[in-house]
Amino acid sequence: MLVRVPDYFDQFQCLAGACPHTCCEKWEVVIDEETAAFYQTVPGDLGDKLRSALQVDEDGDVCFPLDGGRCPFLDGDNLCEIHRKLGEDATSVTCREHPRFTEDYGSFREITLSASCPAANALLLGSGEPLAFRSFETEEPKEDGDEWLEYLISLRERMLDILADRSRPVKARLASFLALALSAQHCLDDDCPESLPETGEAALHPAEDGLFPGALSFLTSLEILESDWPALLKQAETVEPGTVPEALLERIAAYFAFRYLLKAVNDGDLLGRAELCVFAVLTVERLAGVCGLTEALRRFSCEIEHDDSNLDALLEAFAEDEALSPERFLAELGR
| Tens digits of residue pLDDT in 24-60 | 888 888 899 999 999 999 999 999 999 999 998 888 8
Which of these ranges, 65-69, 284-288, 328-332, has the smallest mean pLDDT? 65-69
Task: Note whether 108 and 91 are same-domain residues.
Answer: no
In a domain, 144, yes or no: no
Task: Note whether 181 and 226 are same-domain residues.
Answer: yes
Task: Note whether 158 and 236 are same-domain residues.
Answer: yes
CA dist., res. 31 & res. 50, Å (int): 11
Query: Cβ of 238: how many Cβ atoms within 10 Å?
Result: 10
In a domain, 33, yes or no: yes
Q: What is the extent of the structural domain holding 127? A: 100-137
Buried-exposed string 18-34: b where 16+ CB fall within 10 A, e elsewhere = eeebbbbeebebbbeee
pLDDT for position 215: 95
Domain stop point among 87, 114, 137:
137
Which of these ranges, 15-19, 121-125, 234-238, has the smallest mean pLDDT? 15-19
In a domain, 19, yes or no: no
Closest CA to 152 of 74, 320, 265: 265
**Across 129-155, average pLDDT:** 91
Task: Note whether 231 and 303 are same-domain residues.
Answer: yes
CA dist., res. 89 & res. 333, Å (int): 47
With 90 as the cut, is the pLDDT of residue 183 above it? Answer: yes
Alpha-carbon radius of gyration of the chain = 21
In a domain, 311, yes or no: yes
User: What's the first-to-final CA gap in the chain, in angstroms?
Assistant: 44
pTM: 0.93
**Across 154-172, average pLDDT:** 97
Residues 303, 224 contacting (CB under 8 angstroms): yes
With 90 as the cut, is the pLDDT of residue 254 above it? Answer: yes
In a domain, 10, yes or no: no
Domain stop point among 112, 137, 162:
137
CA dist., res. 24 & res. 17, Å (int): 11
With 90 as the cut, is the pLDDT of residue 279 above it? Answer: yes
With 90 as the cut, is the pLDDT of residue 143 above it? Answer: no
pLDDT for position 318: 97
Q: Which amino acid is at 164?
A: A
Task: Note whether 198 and 79 are same-domain residues.
Answer: no
pLDDT for position 151: 94
Task: Note whether 204 and 319 are same-domain residues.
Answer: yes
In a domain, 124, yes or no: yes
Task: Note whether 118 and 91 are same-domain residues.
Answer: no
In a domain, 288, yes or no: yes
Residues 163, 132 contacting (CB under 8 angstroms): no
Task: Note whether 46 and 127 are same-domain residues.
Answer: no
Please return the burial class of 112, using the count of CB atoms within 10 Å of its CB with bins 0-12, 13-18 and 19+: buried
Task: Note whether 176 and 308 are same-domain residues.
Answer: yes
**Across 165-171, average pLDDT:** 97
Task: Note whether 119 and 254 are same-domain residues.
Answer: no
Task: Note whether 207 and 329 are same-domain residues.
Answer: yes
* Domain count for the chain: 3
Q: How confident is the model at residue 274 (pLDDT cuts 50, 70, 90)?
A: very high
**Across 184-192, average pLDDT:** 93
Task: Note whether 293 and 277 are same-domain residues.
Answer: yes
Which of these ranges, 11-20, 267-276, 299-308, has the smallest mean pLDDT? 11-20
pLDDT for position 330: 95
| Tens digits of residue pLDDT in 52-87 | 999 988 888 899 988 888 899 999 899 999 999 999
With 90 as the cut, is the pLDDT of residue 248 above it? Answer: yes
